[in-house]
Structure formats: structure tokens, C-alpha cells
């Protein structure tokens, strides 16, 4: 079976061979039909010549002319034609031979009347093609008989089947050459036509085979520029679009699954972190309260210190719950946050004024360099909280003395700001994790200074909610810098455009 398939003719040949076979059958049938018609026509011409000769001899008889000169003239006349050698015999109604040229034609053969004579007796004229019984060396004769109107004589003519007559009756070779040329031309035309069609089908078959096997598809410009090629290109386009849609759907499905898995993982990790972060202040508070409750004899100074420590742990717990509420609001209720035009210079002035009345943990100094009229799209309270988180982060962890924000650049759509401190910076391996929830470089120190581990994630989510971006980098020679963007207010953006 595999050997048969290996040597199986392709579509082009399977289309070409039956088509050419059918065309040749039609050509051969037409040729045979034409040959018979041509042969019959030429025979009719010879018979017409014989009948015409007989009619002229009868006409001479009816005009009472001497028939012998007429017969001799006719024989002489046909010497240079295909009827050279024609025999003419004139009989009376009693079967007596009156005149003849050449060998007389008998009025009966073996006692039987010739068929042409029988027809002449019935209709006045008759012709037939038969062998001569008088001269068997000759092949076939064309016989003709014509009877006079008064029935007293009849003219009997015979034309031997000579080579000259054979040529006259033969079909012209030019017709055969024309038929052969037509057959060859038709074959060539059919070959190239079926070759084009076969090539289209072969290319389409190759495309379907490779598509089914998942192999690289043939180039679309391989398809010819005709109707079948157009259909092939449409099929190719539909397949590639469907394949692209399937691949896109698979990628989106894979991304959705990955996002769902990441979300589940993040939720589980967040739950574990929240559980851990909540346990710490709760455990501290409970520990101090249990100690106070079980040691009634505790000196007042020590009891006051324990109460103060429990209050600090309670403050940290409240800050953690507030930060959790803020980040949940930013992540899940971003669409419900109302946007407004915020004058960043006024906001930073208010923060700077408030910080003067607040004792920062490490007494870090805050400054800002923002031009007047720097109006951004945002929410005043959220932007206020974002800036406070950046300042607290610098105060808690930078170990520096100064921090501040400045305008780096702007375009028609947004401002780019940089918040930096002059502290020790962080290791490069920590930069990509600074915005992860509960990520701490020095866990013990972070808890000691009261950080919740959610300040920088809140900062990133706030910037993202308002259409901006943020990243962290170390400064030279030291310190940490946060570069972020905020969208310009509409009227300001339109005035600059």
C-alpha cells in the first residue's frame, strides 16, 4: 500500500490524462465522421460525373446525333482526368451492343441483371460499386446506367478503380495534418491548464497537510494569481487568523491562570503576613497587661512604663489596620476613588508645616522644591498619605538627616518628581522588592521603629491609581531616591499644548 501511495500520480496528471483522453476521443470521432463524409462526397462527385456523361450521351441520342463521335470525344476528354480509362457501352432495348469504347460492359452477369441496370429500369438511371466479372485483374468498378426517354437504348458506363481514381477519392492529407495539429495543440493546452490547476491544488494540499501536522506553513505568495489562488489565500488567511486567535486565547488563558494563581498565592501570603503582623502587637499588649494584672505589687513607675509600652503597641496595631484599609481601598476600590485637581505645592507646604509640630523618630528634616502652579490629577487625602509614607520611610530606615522632593522634568501630559534622602541607601538586591507588602530589609529594626511594612506598597498603589509610575534607585554618593510621575491637571496640560 505504501509503494502504491509513493508512486501515486499527483493531481495535475490525474486531471490531465482523463481530459486529454476525452479530447482525443472527441477528435478521433470527429476525424472518422469527417473522413466518411469526405469519402462519400468524393464518391458522389465521381458518380455525378458518370451520370453527367450518361445524360449527355442520351441527350445526343435524343438530338439524333451520331453517338460514336460523342463517345470517342468523351473518352478523349477524360484522358487527363481521374476518369481516364472510362468504358462506355450503348445497348438497345433488346440487349444488342450498339457502340462502345474499351472492353464492352456485359448487360448480364452469370444470367443476372447488374444492380445499376435494375435501378435504371425502375428510375431511368442507376449506379453501383462492384467488382468486374469480365476483368478480374481490376479491383472495383464504378458503374452507371442511363436509359433514354423512349426506352430504346441505354448507356452503360464503367470506371475502373485506377490509381488516379484512388487519389481522387482519397481524403486530402492536409485534413489529417490539420487534425493532428489540432490534437497536439489541444494536448499542450490541456497540459498547461491542468498543470496550473494541479499546482494550485498541490500547494493547497501541502498547506492543509502542514497545517494539520503543525509544521511551518508555505508562503502566501506561492499561491498563483487566479480564482483558485484567491480562494487558497482566503483559506490561508482564515486559518492564520483562527490559529492566531487560538494562540491568543491560549496565551490569555495561561496569563489568566497565572494571574489567578499569583493572586491566590499573594492572598495566602498576605493572610499569613497579616496574621503574623497582627500577632506581634497583640502579643505585646497582652503580655504587658497580663504582667500588670498578675503583679499587683508592681511599683508605679514600672507599671506606667508597661502601660506606655502597651499604648505604643496599640498605636502600631492601629497604624497597621489603617494601612491595610488604605491599600485594600486602593487595590479593590480604585474605580470609586474620585479624582480632583491637587495643587502639589500647597499640599507639600501643609505637610512641611505639620511636620514642624511633630517629633519625627529620628528628627529627619524635610524640604521641597516644587514650582507654584504645579497642579496634578489625584486625591488630596491619598496624595497626602503617600507623601507622609515616603517621609516616614526615610525617617525610619534611611539613617540620614535630610529628605525632600523636587521636580525633575515635565512634558505636555505629566510631571516627573524625585523624593530622595541622604541616608545609607539599600543593597541593589533589595530595590526590586521595596514595594512588596511586609518586605523588610532589617526586620528587627523595622518593627522596633514602628513600621508596618505597608508604607511603600501604599505609595506605589497610589501612584498607579492616578496613572503614574514609580521606581527606586540608589543615589550617588549615598542615599535612596524614588522617581515617580503624576498626570497634569487638564487645564494645565491643554494650556501647554
pLDDT tens, position by position, 341-397? 999 999 999 888 888 767 665 778 999 999 998 999 988 888 888 898 899 888 888
Does residue 257 sit in the same domain as residue 345?
no
Domain finish residue from 295, 312, 332? 332
203 falls within a domain: no
Over range 292-297, report the average pLDDT. 79
Contacts of 282 (CB under 8 A, 6+ apart): 313, 317
190 falls within a domain: no
Contacts of 93 (CB under 8 A, 6+ apart): 151, 152, 153, 154
Domain finish residue from 303, 332, 361? 332
Burial group, residue 218, by CB count within 10 angstroms (0-12, 13-18, 19+): middle
Does residue 169 sit in the same domain as residue 280?
no
Residue 133 sits in a domain whose CATH number is 3.30.450.20
Domain finish residue from 314, 332, 350? 332
Residue 423 sits in a domain whose CATH number is 3.30.565.10
Q: What percent of the chain has a predicted confidence (pLDDT) above 90?
A: 12
Binned at pLDDT 50, 70 and 90, residue 3 comes out as: very low
436 falls within a domain: yes
pLDDT surpasses 70 at 333? no
Does residue 367 sit in the same domain as residue 431?
yes
CA 472/CA 432 separation, integer angstroms? 8
Does residue 311 sit in the same domain as residue 164?
no
Does residue 324 sit in the same domain as residue 345?
no
Does residue 167 sit in the same domain as residue 288?
no
185 falls within a domain: no
Does residue 321 sit in the same domain as residue 351?
no
What local confidence, expressed as pLDDT, does residue 319 receive?
Answer: 64
Residue 195 DSSP SS3: helix
pLDDT surpasses 50 at 445? no
Contact (Cβ atoms closer than 8 angstroms) between residue 187 and residue 16? no
Higher pLDDT pick, 227 / 182:
182
Q: Which domain holds residue 314?
A: 219-332
Does residue 311 sit in the same domain as residue 353?
no
396 falls within a domain: yes
Cell of 209: 497537510
What local confidence, expressed as pLDDT, does residue 436 receive?
Answer: 81
Does residue 299 sit in the same domain as residue 416?
no
pLDDT digits (tens, 9 = 90+) for 382-441: 888 889 889 988 888 888 899 999 999 999 899 999 999 999 888 888 888 888 877 777
pLDDT surpasses 80 at 145? yes
Does residue 314 sit in the same domain as residue 440?
no
Q: How many CA atoms lie within 13 A of 420 on its CB side?
A: 16
Count of domains forming the chain? 3
Does residue 483 sit in the same domain as residue 392?
yes
208 falls within a domain: no
Does residue 118 sit in the same domain as residue 81?
yes
Contact (Cβ atoms closer than 8 angstroms) between residue 398 and residue 421? yes
CA 467/CA 485 separation, integer angstroms? 8
CA 434/CA 426 separation, integer angstroms? 10
361 falls within a domain: yes
Among 19-28, 79-88, 121-130, 323-332, the minimum mean pLDDT is found in 323-332
Amino acid at each position: 500500500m505504501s509503494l502504491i501511495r509513493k508512486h501515486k500520480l499527483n493531481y495535475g496528471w490525474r486531471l490531465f490524462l482523463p481530459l486529454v483522453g476525452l479530447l482525443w476521443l472527441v477528435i478521433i470521432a470527429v476525424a472518422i465522421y469527417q473522413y466518411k463524409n469526405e469519402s462519400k462526397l468524393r464518391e458522389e462527385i465521381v458518380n455525378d460525373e458518370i451520370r453527367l456523361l450518361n445524360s449527355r450521351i442520351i441527350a445526343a441520342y435524343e438530338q439524333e446525333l451520331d453517338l460514336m463521335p460523342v463517345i470517342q470525344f468523351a473518352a478523349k476528354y477524360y484522358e487527363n482526368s481521374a476518369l481516364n480509362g472510362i468504358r462506355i457501352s450503348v445497348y438497345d432495348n433488346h440487349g444488342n451492343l450498339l457502340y462502345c469504347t474499351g472492353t464492352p460492359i456485359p448487360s448480364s452477369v452469370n444470367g443476372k441483371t447488374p444492380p445499376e441496370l435494375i435501378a435504371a429500369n425502375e428510375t431511368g438511371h442507376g449506379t453501383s460499386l462492384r467488382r468486374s466479372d469480365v476483368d478480374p485483374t481490376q479491383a472495383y468498378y464504378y458503374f452507371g446506367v442511363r436509359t433514354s426517354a423512349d426506352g430504346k437504348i441505354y448507356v452503360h458506363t464503367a470506371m475502373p478503380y485506377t490509381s488516379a481514381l484512388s487519389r481522387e477519392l482519397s481524403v486530402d492529407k492536409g485534413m489529417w495534418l490539420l487534425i493532428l495539429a489540432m490534437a497536439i495543440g489541444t494536448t499542450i493546452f490541456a497540459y498547461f491548464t491542468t498543470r496550473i490547476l494541479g499546482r494550485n491544488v498541490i500547494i493547497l494540499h501541502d498547506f492543509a497537510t502542514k497545517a494539520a501536522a503543525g509544521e511551518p506553513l508555505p508562503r502566501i505568495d506561492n499561491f498563483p494569481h487566479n480564482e483558485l489562488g484567491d480562494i487558497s489565500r482566503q483559506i490561508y488567511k482564515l486559518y492564520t487568523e483562527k490559529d492566531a486567535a487560538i494562540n491568543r486565547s491560549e496565551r490569555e488563558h495561561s496569563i489568566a491562570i497565572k494571574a489567578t494563581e499569583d493572586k491566590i498565592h499573594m492572598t495566602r501570603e498576605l493572610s499569613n503576613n497579616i496574621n503574623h503582623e497582627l500577632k506581634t502587637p497583640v502579643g505585646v499588649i497582652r503580655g504587658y497587661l497580663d504582667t500588670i494584672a498578675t503583679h499587683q505589687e508592681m511599683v508605679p513607675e514600672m507599671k506606667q512604663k508597661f502601660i506606655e509600652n502597651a499604648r505604643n503597641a496599640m498605636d502600631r496595631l492601629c497604624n497597621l489596620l489603617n494601612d491595610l484599609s488604605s491599600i485594600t481601598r486602593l487595590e479593590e476600590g480604585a474605580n470609586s476613588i474620585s479624582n480632583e485637581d491637587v495643587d502639589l505645592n500647597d499640599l507639600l507646604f501643609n505637610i512641611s508645616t505639620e511636620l514642624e509640630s511633630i517629633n519625627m523618630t529620628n528628627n529627619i528634616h524635610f524640604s521641597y522644591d516644587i514650582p507654584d502652579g504645579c497642579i496634578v490629577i489625584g486625591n488630596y487625602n491619598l496624595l497626602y498619605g503617600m507623601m507622609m509614607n515616603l517621609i516616614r520611610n526615610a525617617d525610619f530606615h534611611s539613617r540620614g538627616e535630610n529628605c525632600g522632593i523636587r521636580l525633575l522634568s515635565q512634558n505636555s501630559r505629566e510631571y516627573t518628581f524625585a523624593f530622595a534622602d541622604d541616608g545609607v541607601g539599600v543593597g541593589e538586591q533589595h530595590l526590586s522588592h521595596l514595594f512588596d507588602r511586609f518586605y523588610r530589609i532589617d526586620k528587627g529594626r523595622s518593627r522596633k521603629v514602628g513600621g508596618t511594612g505597608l508604607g511603600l506598597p501604599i505609595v506605589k498603589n497610589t501612584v498607579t491609581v492616578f496613572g503614574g509610575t514609580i521606581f527606586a534607585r540608589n543615589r550617588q554618593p549615598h542615599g535612596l531616591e524614588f522617581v515617580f510621575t503624576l498626570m497634569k491637571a487638564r487645564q494645565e496640560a491643554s494650556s501647554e499644548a
